[in-house]
């Protein structure tokens, strides 16, 4: 059948057995008639940027955003099915559970090939495999015993299990003698093991067996072919290989062992296999359910000695090879001695091996996968009344998520008196003793502007908040923040955060509110407030200034600036200065595993990448956009868990290398993440960011760490935070304004995103 498929797996240039398998599977599918086979490659965060042309996206194993992005691309790419190559270690999270971020969002059939099946799993692996099997449409096992295990241990549906063997390439031209001569192995009885080298392969036992066998076979040569596994090399260098070399010296078998320490291309690897007289598989793990190296040796007609792991028992148990007990060097040595001395026995085993491997070529395997895709399509057609089309999969739970509620201004109006918005509340009732802050009145002014753009009547509110900011501004341009209920300023240090928030609200009012008199007032206060901007030094102060300047430049009025307003060049200079300050902090602190502006995540975190993304779009500076996106991806990786936004808690925050605070989660964090993700979607055109913005907004409505809503449907207000035991019942100004900014901000940024695209 003709089909468009996508493989999710490690993939070249990454060097591992699963990557090689996936490259061969792709070739087999194309040889069998697939129309197209794309790849979503699983990579480490430090993977090289260069990928093969068939790789349409990469998934960094520890970043949820990449799984979401891949799902979106595959859903809209016209693919008939996804072929997921499953190995616990290639996906992020405990036992690889981050693969569920992909599976939960895929809307096309998923076939998972299981490369590891544990018959006696630890709890986390049992949970991960059970969750995987619940989310896929069909399972491929490469050993029939594997199908039995996933039924007995994990409760898999037998109707959704297919046996398809591990594929093998065609042997290279040339006889074994010719390859021995070419490789300088003539006159030796060659025993071989190949694969990426690392602990857990049983090479220690094999070396002891070679020491025993070499006593009666002086021409015996054991080839250990393959580079050290990249992950082992990254963790400990060549220490493991050096330990094996020391064992060789201790056993006195230097003349009988040769390490080929490099990653061989396939032609050279098959040449070594052709030259081998015996293939040795000393694996110590009984549960191993597949082995590409064993399958290759079988198809090449090699006499095989192996430990009795599950896959070896199935392939060799009927006379296609020899099985010896685990960790038994003496038994392995005796088998080596006997087989090395008996050429006729080797010939017999060789013929049996070739016969056992019939039907294992990659084109045959590719055809089996295409047949399975066809069966899934026919099953879906029957379920849909005969229409031959792929099934649209439902996410676990099966119900469509409710739309976010429309923002309501009722609680903001309750908190607002003729002076301004009251800072705190007792439950939903304004707490007059807490007075007012410019912070809150600036946010309220911004909300009133955005609400007016959405069709709300907010003129009176806007004028109240604007009057408060006019009262709060000092002659030098700074805004005093805290005031008592009787309007007297309270003692405080200057707040750069407050200054920036006031400028943001004023920029919005000056450029977006109708009425020249009101716009003039906002512009006048904004211009005076620019004077202190050159002395702003804190990260969030700079980020807030950048956002305010971007607000001004993005929405400057088409009918000209109000009298007395600053020039665009003046505003642009402040934007560049603030954005450059953020990029300097980034370059000073960011590393490969901590892509952030400082050595801790504290409050209002997403404001920092939001500021750079917005500055990069307004000024068309690629560096701002690049750093903003990288930082936002890092922050998303730290604050999204299984589609749930889990902001850094204020009760201790998250210092690099330490433990993150889980609670005292603040609405401010969700708002900043909503705005930053929406901006990222506008900058990149990547709709996945808009989905993450919605997920962050749903923190308010109950998709959070405790599953309880912070938004009060009765009052329209928002509770003040999320604690380990529930919500803070008070509904103050900051939390309510945070919800309103998120809700109206979703609408504002969605419109912008459409315009940008």
DSSP conformation letters of 385-450: TS---PPPPPPTT--PPPPPPPP--HHHHHHB-SS-BEEEEETTEEEEEEEEEHHHHHHHHHHHHH
Q: Which residues contact 88 (CB under 8 A, 6 or more apart)?
A: 95, 96, 116, 125, 128
8, 102 contact by CB (below 8 A): yes
Token pair recorded at residue 308? 């009795």
Distances (CA, A) of 123 to 1, 91, 153, 282: 40, 17, 12, 28
Per-residue pLDDT, averaged over 97-115, amounts to 95
The rounded distance, in Å, linking the Cα atoms of 3 and 388 is 13
pLDDT at 484 over 90: yes
654, 638 contact by CB (below 8 A): yes
Of 516 and 20, more confident: 20
Residue 364's H or E segment, with its range, is helix 362-383
Average pLDDT, the chain: 91
Token pair recorded at residue 101? 């971020």
Residue 191's H or E segment, with its range, is strand 189-194
Q: What is the pLDDT of residue 174?
A: 85
How many CB atoms are closer than 10 A to CB 123? Answer: 8
Q: Which residues contact 750 (CB under 8 A, 6 or more apart)?
A: 678, 690
Per-residue pLDDT, averaged over 149-157, amounts to 94
User: Which of the residue ranges 73-77, 526-530, 559-563 would you say has the lowest mean pLDDT?
Assistant: 559-563
Q: What is the pLDDT of residue 687?
A: 87
In this predicted model, what pLDDT tens digit does every residue of 725-738 receive, in sequence order?
A: 899 999 999 999 99
Which position has the token pair 């609680």? 411
Question: For residue 511, is the peptide bond before it cis, meaning its omega torsion is within 30 degrees of 0?
Answer: no
706, 723 contact by CB (below 8 A): no
- Exposed e or buried b per residue across 422-454, where buried means at least 16 C-beta atoms within 10 angstroms of its C-beta: bbbbeebebbbebbbbbbbbbbbbbbbbbbbbe
Q: What is the pLDDT of residue 518?
A: 85
Confidence of residue 52 (pLDDT cuts 50, 70, 90): very high
Which position has the token pair 């040595």? 333
Distances (CA, A) of 61 to 100, 211, 344: 12, 42, 50
pLDDT at 181 over 90: yes
Per-residue pLDDT, averaged over 310-320, amounts to 88
Per-residue pLDDT, averaged over 248-262, amounts to 95
Q: What is the pLDDT of residue 596?
A: 97
- Dihedral in degrees, nearest 10, Cα atoms 262, 268, 269, 275: -120
| 3-state percent helix, strand, coil for the chain, nearest multiple of 5 | 50, 15, 35
The rounded distance, in Å, linking the Cα atoms of 281 and 206 is 8
Give first-to-last CA distance, the chain, whole Å: 37
3-state secondary structure 673-686: HHHHHHHHHHHHCC
Q: What is the pTM of this model?
A: 0.74
Handedness of CA 381, 55, 229, 24 (dihedral sign): positive
Q: What is the pLDDT of residue 579?
A: 97
pLDDT at 561 over 70: no
Q: What is the pLDDT of residue 385?
A: 59
**Most confident residue range from 274-288, 368-382, 426-440:** 426-440
pLDDT at 559 over 90: no
Per-residue pLDDT, averaged over 119-127, amounts to 93
Per-residue pLDDT, averaged over 127-135, amounts to 95
In this predicted model, what pLDDT tens digit does every residue of 664-711 receive, in sequence order?
A: 999 999 999 999 999 999 999 888 999 999 999 999 999 999 999 999
Q: What is the pLDDT of residue 390?
A: 42
What domains are defined for the chain? 4-167+363-383 (3.40.50.2000), 176-359 (3.40.50.2000), 410-756 (1.50.10.10)
Which position has the token pair 């955060």? 497
655, 613 contact by CB (below 8 A): no
Token pair recorded at residue 65? 């955003």
Per-residue pLDDT, averaged over 280-285, amounts to 92
Per-residue pLDDT, averaged over 575-582, amounts to 97
270, 169 contact by CB (below 8 A): yes
The rounded distance, in Å, linking the Cα atoms of 243 and 294 is 25
166, 21 contact by CB (below 8 A): yes
Characterize the bridge pairing of strands 644-645 and 640-641. antiparallel
Of 47, 64, 62, 63, nearest to 11 by C-alpha is 47
User: Which of the residue ranges 97-106, 263-272, 585-594 would you say has the lowest mean pLDDT?
Assistant: 263-272
Of 385 and 580, more confident: 580
Per DSSP, the residues of 548-611 read HHHHHHHH--TT-PPTTPPPHHHHHHHHHHHHHHHHHHHHHH-BTTB-SSSSEE-SSTTHHHHH
pLDDT at 61 over 50: yes
65, 92 contact by CB (below 8 A): no
Q: Which residues contact 697 (CB under 8 A, 6 or more apart)?
A: 404, 670, 674, 742, 743, 746
The residue length of the chain stands at 757
- Exposed e or buried b per residue across 475-510, where buried means at least 16 C-beta atoms within 10 angstroms of its C-beta: eebbbbbbbebeeeeeeeeebbbbbbbbbbbbbbbb
The rounded distance, in Å, linking the Cα atoms of 386 and 368 is 24
Q: What is the pLDDT of residue 360?
A: 92
Confidence of residue 720 (pLDDT cuts 50, 70, 90): very high
């Amino acid at each position: 059948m003709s089909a468009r498929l996508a493989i999710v797996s490690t993939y070249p240039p990454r060097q591992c057995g699963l990557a090689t398998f996936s490259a061969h599977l792709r070739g087999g599918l194309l040889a069998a008639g697939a129309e197209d086979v794309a790849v979503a490659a699983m990579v480490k965060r430090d993977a090289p940027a260069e990928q093969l042309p068939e790789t349409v996206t990469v998934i960094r194993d520890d970043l949820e955003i990449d799984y979401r992005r891949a799902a979106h691309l595959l859903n809209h790419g016209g693919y008939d099915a996804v072929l997921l190559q499953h190995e616990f270690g290639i996906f992020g999270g405990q036992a690889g559970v981050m693969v569920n971020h992909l599976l939960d969002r895929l809307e096309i059939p998923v076939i998972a090939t299981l490369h590891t099946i544990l018959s006696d799993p630890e709890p986390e692996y049992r949970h991960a495999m059970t969750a995987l099997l619940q989310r896929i449409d069909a399972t491929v096992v490469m050993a029939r015993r594997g199908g039995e295990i996933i039924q007995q241990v994990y409760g898999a549906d037998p109707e959704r299990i297919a046996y398809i063997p591990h594929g093998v390439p065609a042997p290279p031209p040339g006889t074994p003698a010719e390859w021995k001569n070419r490789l300088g192995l003539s006159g030796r009885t060659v025993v071989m093991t190949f694969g990426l080298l690392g602990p857990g392969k049983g090479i220690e036992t094999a070396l002891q067996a070679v020491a025993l066998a070499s006593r009666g076979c002086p021409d015996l040569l054991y080839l250990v072919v393959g580079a050290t596994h990249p992950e082992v090399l990254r963790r400990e260098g060549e220490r493991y290989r050096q330990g094996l070399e020391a064992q060789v010296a201790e056993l006195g078998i230097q003349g009988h062992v040769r390490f080929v320490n490099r990653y061989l291309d396939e032609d050279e690897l098959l040449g070594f296999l052709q030259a081998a007289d015996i293939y040795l598989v000393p694996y110590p793990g009984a549960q191993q359910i597949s082995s590409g190296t064993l399958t290759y040796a079988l198809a090449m007609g090699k006499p095989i000695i192996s430990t009795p792991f599950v896959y070896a028992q199935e392939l060799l148990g009927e006379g296609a090879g020899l099985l010896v007990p685990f960790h038994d060097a003496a038994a392995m040595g005796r088998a080596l001695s006997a087989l090395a001395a008996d050429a006729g026995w080797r010939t017999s085993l060789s013929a049996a091996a070739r016969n056992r491997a019939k039907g294992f070529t990659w084109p045959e395997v590719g055809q089996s996968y295409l047949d399975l895709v066809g069966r899934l399509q026919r099953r879906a057609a029957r379920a849909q009344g005969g229409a031959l089309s792929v099934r649209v999969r439902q996410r676990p739970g099966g119900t469509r998520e409710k739309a976010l509620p429309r923002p309501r201004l009722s609680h903001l109006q309750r908190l607002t008196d003729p002076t301004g918005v009251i800072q705190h509340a007792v439950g939903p009732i304004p707490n007059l003793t807490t007075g007012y802050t410019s912070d809150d009145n600036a946010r309220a002014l911004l909300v009133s502007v955005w609400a007016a753009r959405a069709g709300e009547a907010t003129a009176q509110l806007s004028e109240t908040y604007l009057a408060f900011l006019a009262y709060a501004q000092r002659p030098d341009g700074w805004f005093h923040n805290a005031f008592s209920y009787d309007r007297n300023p309270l003692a405080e240090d200057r707040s750069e955060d407050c200054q920036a928030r006031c400028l943001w609200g004023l920029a919005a009012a000056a450029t977006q509110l109708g009425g020249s008199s009101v716009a003039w007032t906002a512009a006048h206060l904004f211009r005076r407030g620019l004077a202190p901007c050159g002395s702003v030094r804190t990260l969030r102060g700079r980020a807030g200034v950048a956002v305010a300047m971007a607000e001004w430049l993005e929405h400057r009025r088409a009918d000209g600036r109000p009298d007395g307003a600053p020039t665009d060049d003046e505003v642009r200079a402040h934007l560049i200065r603030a954005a450059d300050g953020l990029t300097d902090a980034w370059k000073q602190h960011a590393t490969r595993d901590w892509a952030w502006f400082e050595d801790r995540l504290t409050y209002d975190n997403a404001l920092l990448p939001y500021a750079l993304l917005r500055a990069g779009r307004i000024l068309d500076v690629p560096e701002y956009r690049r750093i903003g996106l990288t930082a936002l991806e890092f922050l998303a990786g730290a604050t999204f868990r299984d589609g749930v936004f889990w902001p850094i808690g204020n009760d201790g925050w998250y210092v690099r290398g330490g433990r993150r605070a889980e609670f005292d989660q603040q609405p401010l964090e969700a708002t900043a993440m909503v705005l930053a993700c929406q901006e990222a979607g506008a900058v990149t055109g990547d709709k996945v960011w808009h989905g993450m913005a919605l997920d962050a907004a749903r923190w308010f409505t109950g998709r959070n760490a405790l599953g309880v809503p912070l938004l009060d449907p009765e009052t329209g207000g928002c509770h003040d935070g999320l604690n380990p035991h529930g919500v803070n019942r008070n509904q103050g100004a900051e939390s309510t304004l945070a919800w309103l900014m998120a809700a109206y901000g979703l609408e504002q940024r969605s419109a912008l995103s459409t315009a940008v695209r």
